[in-house]
Amino acid sequence: MRRVPFPVLLLLAATAFAGLLGRSPAPALAAERPVACDGCWTPRTTTRPWQIQLAGRTVTRVAAPIVELDCDEASATTVRTLRRRGHRVLGYFSAGSTESYRADADRFPAAVVGKVYDGWPQERWLDVRRLDVLLPIMRDRIATCARKGFDGVDPDNVNGHENPTGFPISADDQVRFDRAIADEAHRQGLAVVLKNTGSLVPRLVDWFDGAVVESCFRYRECGAYAPFVRRGRPVLAIEYRRAGLRSCADARRRGISLIVKRRSLSAVRWTCPR
């Protein structure tokens, strides 16, 4: 009979004990390499202004190499139009929260739905420790983006460990979830960017193809994303005050693409002078 290593015996015992309690143990933090994305779009560092529009009628004529749209609301026709005009298109969806107005909102059991997202009463944090529940839903959200022809995805709210979610989410829990989302995007042939999770960049940079960051110049957090630039990957920054344009020279020096937007994320934007 093949001898079972002692660490495996411990894992089996933990699994059995968790089963008696009626819940699954948290999976070990995987150390494997990220899933490769053969044939995917490979984003490159740029200081040219990008565009993100999540509200209002979509503008498809815009001077920007990268355009981000809401994955649910953008049509496949709009995505095709943008790609035909030479743009790369990112699809936005929330990975770490549920929004009551989304078509799949009823798929989240109450046990994984936490506190209201501050400032957004229709949105609640999710318990990202529950990959068994959340990953199938996120897999379908990513599939929607892939089906519509997006080049990549921007999974939002992947920093619950830094926020009052209602759950004791650790940095390890967050890394496990974020890596799983990135791997799933790559399995479906899409690039994936990291959103607002500067504290975990050293542990996630190998999994993600770039980053989207909000207000990093205002709060002096842009340096956390330098590992992406060093790897030739884009850091796409948004500031929400016109004063953000004072950071244009700093953005160019850092290799960051900076735009200023209204919080509504309509088509309106302000860009750095060329």
Q: Is residue 130 part of a domain?
A: yes
Q: Is residue 8 part of a domain?
A: no
Q: Is residue 25 part of a domain?
A: no
CATH number for 176:
3.20.20.70
Q: Is the dihedral of CA 167, 170, 173, 174 positive or negative?
A: positive
Of the listed ranges 20-24, 55-59, 118-122, the least confidently predicted one is: 20-24
Tens digits of per-residue pLDDT, 174-203?
999 999 999 999 999 999 999 999 999 999
Q: Is the dihedral of CA 66, 68, 71, 77 positive or negative?
A: negative
How many domains are there within the chain?
1
Tokens in use for 175?
């890394």
Average pLDDT over residues 79-107: 97
For tokens 């929330």, name the residue: 94
* Cα distance between residue 122 and residue 212, in whole Å: 23
Given this model, what pLDDT does residue 29 score?
A: 55
Name the more confident of 29 and 173.
173
Q: Closest Cα partner for 154 from 163, 141, 170, 169? A: 141
Q: Is residue 186 part of a domain?
A: yes
Tens digits of per-residue pLDDT, 263-272?
999 999 999 9
Q: For the chain, what is the radius of gyration of the CA atoms?
A: 20
Domain hosting 147: range is 30-271
Average pLDDT over residues 131-140: 98
Longest dimension (CA), the chain: 72
* Cα distance between residue 29 and residue 175, in whole Å: 8
Q: pTM for the full model?
A: 0.87
